[in-house]
Amino acid sequence: DTAVSQTPKYLVTQMGNDKSIKCEQNLGHDTMYWYKQDSKKFLKIMFSYNNKELIINETVPNRFSPKSPDKAHLNLHINSLELGDSAVYFCASSQYGTEPDGYTFGSGTRLTVV
Amino acid sequence: QKEVEQDPGPLSVPEGAIVSLNCTYSNSAFQYFMWYRQYSRKGPELLMYTYSSGNKEDGRFTAQVDKSSKYISLFIRDSQPSDSATYLCAMSATSGSRLTFGEGTQLTVNP
């Protein structure tokens, strides 16, 4: 299936741990994003990569580090997890300049920090 | 003040009702106005979008943009239980620029 896929879907971890979320898209898009959705459903962009280059970097703690090994993958590594990091993290992809057509979200990774 | 304001609801209507969802915004640079639908435990999916002012219709859904009032609406006619979801408005200044989302309105259509 053509899609944006994220792993894992659920992640429960203790404070202070380091964790990674992976995202892959097979839509041939050149731009990928990470969004954070809090408990009130507010969706906010964190990072965006275009052809492996960082183009959007919102005010996000340094503990969050995205990495794009190629334009089909965008991973998110989080160091020293805090309770406030609990949220649903969505990956998305698009073909730059053709948005909003084709802007596709993954199903999300539900992160719970205990 | 948030750039995009949206009443989070929840909104509960009987099947067959006309639903009106709204957002206001403060950034006059916004040119693209989107509505996303998000089912529980799923990612948002693009429902429809409008460029600049005007109306757009797609089946039971109508999107309206009034740039002079900085106000956008989504109307759902003959609402169905399958329309029960969270509806998020989103906006951007240009194609390719970041999306700014509203808080989302949780809608329940009761059979």
Q: Which tops the pLDDT comparison, B94 or A82?
A: A82
Does A103 lie at the interface with B, CB-CB under 8 angstroms? yes
Q: Which of A29, A42, A96 to mutate to test the interface with B (most CBs of B within 10 A)?
A: A42
pLDDT at A1 over 70: no
Ranges of beta strands (E only) in chain A are: 4-7, 10-13, 19-25, 31-37, 43-50, 53-57, 64-70, 73-78, 87-94, 104-105, 109-113
Residue B96 has its nearest CB partner, among A40, A99, A108, at A99
pLDDT at A23 over 80: yes
A47-61, A82-96, B38-52: least confident range? A47-61
Q: What is the pLDDT of residue A16?
A: 97
Mean pLDDT of chain A: 93
pLDDT in tens, B31-72: 999 999 999 999 999 999 999 888 999 999 999 999 999 999
Q: How confident is the model at residue A58 (pLDDT cuts 50, 70, 90)?
A: confident
Q: How confident is the model at residue B7 (pLDDT cuts 50, 70, 90)?
A: confident
Q: Which tops the pLDDT comparison, B49 or A40?
A: B49
Q: Do the beta carbons of residue B15 and residue B80 sit within 8 Å?
A: yes
